Amino acid sequence: MDARKLFGRRLAQLRKEKGWSQETLSLESGVARSYLGGVERGQRNIALVNICRLADALGLKPAELFEFDDLAVQA
């Protein structure tokens, strides 16, 4: 499966576990909500700086956003 889709699924999973909407994550991270939606759908190739912003907003290490092995199996 495409790494962008896996990353997007993982990001959405972590965001939802925190009980946040895309809008909330957008406000907390400074990443535009429309861009964030594209990332979660696997339509955008996210930049490293935005990965770091999202991880920081979620209180995670950036590497945790790449822990999507289980998601690949579900796909």
Nearby residues of 24 by Cβ (< 8 Å), 6 or more positions away: none
Nearby residues of 25 by Cβ (< 8 Å), 6 or more positions away: 15, 31, 36, 54, 57, 58
Look up residue 54 and give its two tokens.
């999202």
CA 31-52-28 angle, to 5 degrees, is 40
59 φ/ψ sector (left φ>0, alpha ψ -120 to 50, else beta): left
Q: How many domains does the chain have?
A: 1
pLDDT tens digits, one per residue of 11-68? 999 999 999 999 999 999 999 999 999 999 999 999 999 999 999 999 999 999 999 8
Q: What CATH number does residue 21 fall under?
A: 1.10.260.40
pTM, full prediction: 0.90
**Which residues span the domain enclosing 44?**
3-74
